């Protein structure tokens, strides 16, 4: 390989390195844009993770509250069903008494 061929090869590789560096710079810029929060400030990955954890904790707390609410509603619904059954039985007894009273007239 001659000196000129070597220089051409080195220049090609250098050009490839520069193109690769530009690509990396674009990717870093894109990552920085994606890492901005609603106020437009750049947020690091750690800060973003802290925000996610905070929101996840809130979701877990709400899920716990909803689970407790569901349990309470089920208990109250069971009580309502039991009360309706007692009312139906009392109504049937009342209809029976009414029928007897009408028959006794």
Q: Is residue 103 helix, strand or coil?
A: helix
Residue 76 is predicted with a pLDDT of: 96
pLDDT at 100: 92
Listed by start position, the domains of the chain span 1-34, 38-105
Q: Residues of the chain whose pLDDT is less than 70?
A: 35-44
Cα 64 from Cα 84, distance rounded (Å): 30
Instruction: Please report the pLDDT score of residue 75 as a whole number.
Output: 96
DSSP single-letter state for residue 105: -
| DSSP per position, 54-91 | HHHHHHHHHHHHHHHHHHHHHHHHHHHHHHHHHHHHHH
Q: Quote the pLDDT of residue 6.
A: 86
Contact 47, 36 (CB under 8 A): no
Q: Give the global pTM.
A: 0.46
């Amino acid at each position: 390989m001659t000196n000129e061929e070597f220089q051409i090869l080195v220049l090609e590789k250098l050009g490839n390195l520069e193109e690769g560096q530009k690509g990396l710079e674009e990717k870093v810029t894109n990552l920085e844009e994606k890492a901005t929060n609603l106020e437009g400030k750049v947020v690091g990955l750690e800060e973003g993770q802290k925000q996610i954890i905070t929101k996840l904790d809130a979701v877990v707390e709400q899920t716990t509250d909803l689970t407790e609410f569901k349990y309470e509603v089920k208990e109250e619904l069971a009580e309502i069903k039991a009360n309706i059954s007692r009312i139906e039985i009392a109504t049937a007894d009342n209809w029976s008494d009414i029928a007897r009273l009408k028959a006794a007239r």
